[in-house]
Structure 1
């Protein structure tokens, strides 16, 4: 069966204008004209004397106009800066090292696009050959050292997905290309110290990739991926193969799900009034996440990001556990910057728009464990994460980028909650507040009344 390229189901919450920028009934408020001889004063001067109620009326009107004109103009909205509750990363987490800038071009002047950071100083990414004939997978150090891992003819229209760290020495990824009208996918293994690539398997089926950090999941010594299931009536399978290669096993799973933190699957789609689900592969239990018709929700195994809609669109972003506990306001209205929820199980990135002429953003992280808001960078454009690694580009979209990365594993552990912890509270527009409530309920231990899963056949070879 031809591999279906899934639609762009990014789950990203669109940026919305703030309530301050809108007026009742829709439309943007006109800017105030407070200069000398503005429209109000001109209207007073233009009124024929016979229409005024005597000299007192003229004096009162002029005084009123002068008073109005004397009011200072409202300053334009500026991007929030540290001081609004956020803390710069160097101050919040001194142990977290942000890499030096990774250049956006290789030595041969071709564009390098990172797809995974193994460490803050070593990336795996894509670059075409100078003649454009091939697309290369390369290892690239922050010092510019480059090792070519693999290359594929550009004429084959290759697509690369699922770059994942299997262990400190090994990276896996998937390469798909068209063969006689159908897509064939190969899973590759890369030895990081040498840059040598070898095939793990070609028995991949109609592999489904969603531009997620969980397109390939390495767990229990195996690489796992999903096939089919893009629509309700196409059966879905979980396929698994040892990292070192070997036989592929298959397991039927519900449709319309995507891989998450092992051993969970979560709803692939996120839209208003669409219920989100969390499915446990071991127990075959499925939990429906409680939401309302005005909310869109995207979940990981332990956290959900909820976009709450108001009369003018998105009004805020909340976070909670899949069982509905610990719900609190994260921010609003701002933009979510990635499809996946809760980087490293703890951090939710979001963006604040900067100059609309450049399209750049201020990148911040909301710490789900403490409620702290940490500013990562300004002038950012692209934001990605995998495991505990977070990386972002600096530069205007469509122009040359430089890249930075940080390993969030160095963030100190959150303090243990106390019995007197406050209840969840509203937070500033840029984020804040401390998530509270009971610990998340593991779907594996949910009561039968809360589940809707049906036992599936056992995995088969």
Structure 2
């Protein structure tokens, strides 16, 4: 059995296509921009970066699926019990396992929106038997997991690293009260639990890097960023023939040709500092734009990708202009908090998870 392969397709707040190419143009003052460094592999480009390989099979038999890596060797993720009757949420470090939660599979449990702040892990949990999403927390160092709140409203998660944001001593998320196109609730609860605070913002918004919200313009027609601290909006500038996915520092622009994607570019939300990083022969590998404001994570399908689901995984380093080869045959890619991970499978279906800590590059 192999993991679910999740190279993305075009959807709201989710990016799609990208690939290999660079743009050489004129620099300020008429000077020609130097060519970027030659493409190379990750071990050559980042020899000191922390990385690890983790077999998917647990000592008691079932396969482990990571939802978030805390470092190169420590992950939070799920695995069924050996009997297959229950789903476990586990904190795994190598072969050392600590069970955080156990829920009957008959309840169809869903664990999502993971984030971490200091020693504290946070996530959202729902079951078929519950009418609401509940937020939970656990300390990495030990102790039992505990619920933070069930007062989550109609919580909206987009599958990116900002679904839950920890800032100013609180956990923040968005919820949709009634007509989601007209207003958005910004809900928050203290990291230790307590009363939920609700702030209503006109329009349809998603959480981004604190204190920012982002509106992709799909319903408003006006892509923009909103600073919750100042209550001011910043327009997102578009050339028109492109699809933008933005965060406060960078936007990913899918530039369209006559019938298909012409290329992918990175550009500041105000339209400045535009640079071509890819052509139209590959895919963006994850939802989030410019991990750590520096790394754009791409996939390059091969001739057998439609059959195997595996594609080459590459990272464009914005700081150096270099595209770095990470893996030749990755079954999907994932990233949160600066950690990048992916899986590979052998011919006999032995699955291995691989990690690269981009924070240590």
Q: Structure 2 length as normaliser, TM-score?
A: 0.85
2:81 corresponds to 1:129:
yes
**What's the secondary structure of 1:184's corresponding residue?**
coil
2:94 corresponds to 1:147:
no
- 2:309 and 2:163 map into 1 onto residues whose CA distance is 28
1:372 paired residue among 322, 326, 331: 322
**What's the secondary structure of 2:14's corresponding residue?**
coil
**1:229/1:257 contact within 8 Å kept:** no
Change (3 A) 1:98 1:110: same
2:114 corresponds to 1:156:
no
TM-fit CA distance, 1:395: 2.7
Q: How many matched pairs?
A: 335
Q: Structure 1 length as normaliser, TM-score?
A: 0.68
- 1:268 and 1:300 map into 2 onto residues whose CA distance is 10
Task: Look up the match of 2:200.
Answer: 252
**2:122/2:136 contact within 8 Å kept:** yes
The aligned runs of 1:244-283 (5 Å cut-off) are 244-267=192-215, 275-283=222-230
**1:228/1:234 contact within 8 Å kept:** no
1:382 paired residue among 321, 326, 332: 332
The aligned runs of 1:290-301 (5 Å cut-off) are 290-301=237-248
TM-fit CA distance, 1:16: 8.9
TM-fit CA distance, 1:195: 5.5
**2:295/2:317 contact within 8 Å kept:** yes
The aligned runs of 1:360-439 (5 Å cut-off) are 360-395=310-345, 400-411=350-361
Task: Look up the match of 1:439.
Answer: none
**What's the secondary structure of 2:161's corresponding residue?**
coil
1:395-427: CA deviation from partner (whole Å, max 9, x where unpaired): 38995531111221122xxxxxxxxxxxxxxxx
Task: Look up the match of 1:325.
Answer: 272
Structure with the greater relative contact order (CA < 8 A, sep ≥ 6): 1 or 2? Answer: 2
1:14-33: CA deviation from partner (whole Å, max 9, x where unpaired): 46999xxxxxxxxxxxxxxx
TM-fit CA distance, 1:133: 2.0
1:234-290: CA deviation from partner (whole Å, max 9, x where unpaired): 53111111111122111112433211111011135779x965321111111222211
Name the structure with the higher strand share: 2
TM-fit CA distance, 1:132: 2.5
Give the root-mean-square deviation of aligned CA atoms. 2.8
Q: Which has the larger radius of gyration?
A: 1
Gaps spanning 5+ residues in structure 2: where? Answer: 1-9, 22-36
**What's the secondary structure of 1:215's corresponding residue?**
coil
**1:11/1:270 contact within 8 Å kept:** no
- 1:254 and 1:396 map into 2 onto residues whose CA distance is 50
**1:112/1:127 contact within 8 Å kept:** yes
